[in-house]
Structure 1
Amino acid sequence: MTEGQGHDVLLHFWHEQRDQARQSENQRAAMTNIVLVVAAAAIGFMVRQGITDRANLPVSVALTLLGLYGALASAKYRERFAMHMREATLMRRRLDAFYPALGLEDDRRSARDEHRRTHRLMYRVRLHQLWTSLHLGIALSGAVLTVIIAS
């Protein structure tokens, strides 16, 4: 294998890791959409029946479990995303070492620094924490409804 072919293989594997990371995010989004639809239907059902109706107890418990499942799955998708991005980062650094004139790492650092300066507050907010919090909020809603119904 020639050096150029080796670089092509490395670029292919970098692209594959980026695609896998994107797939993890797409799967997380689809799962979240399903959780939101089911949660909205469950809450709508309970409101229609009357929130304090004891027959809603299994629904409120299921809502709690659904929210907890969503939080766990969201965290797992984040873990997979991070793994693929870590691997892609290592490959990008290797590509940068092969082609230093391109300045891949310098451009990346410069863009990140500018982004951090431009979006000081939002830069600190981690997207995966927002997604997990959404699911935990659903779980909390189910738990509160369970307490209300059981009282």
Structure 2
Amino acid sequence: MTTYPGAAGNGSSQSQQGDNNAGFGQRVDQIGSEAQQLWTDARGAVTDLGQALDLRGRVERNPYGMMAAALGVGYVLGGGLFTPMTARIIKLGVRLAALPFVKDELLGMAEQALQGYQAGRGMAGAGGADSTASANATSAGTPRPPSY
């Protein structure tokens, strides 16, 4: 038989039953008061958290942002984190996040190619001017067709 603190008896069945009922009642009262204390502590913690986060002020300053945050928290708490839709959203987000890096790389490659083309054209233009002059000197009497 289980005995509770504060339950005392002489071993007879009637006195044990009476003492157990008194001990049980005390235990129920103790659990009730502990539950009430826990509830009070929890409400106080929520109030403190609300004051620390300044939720009312944030909602007043940025209502759409707070709605989006609430939607996101609800989505996660509702079990939407490990769904195929979330995987697609994350893939899209990664692609969009990588887009500026890819664009910068492509622009850098295009600039290098353009610089190389201009440098090669400049070298060909310098060497080409001499070859054009010598070609004109050899074919001085022949008219050249116009270039378009």
**TM bin (shorter chain):** 0.3 to 0.5
Q: Higher relative contact order by CA 8 Å / sep ≥ 6: 1 or 2?
A: 1
TM-score normalised per structure 1 = 0.33
Name which one, 1 or 2, has greater alpha-carbon Rg: 2
TM-score normalised per structure 2 = 0.34
More helix by share: 1
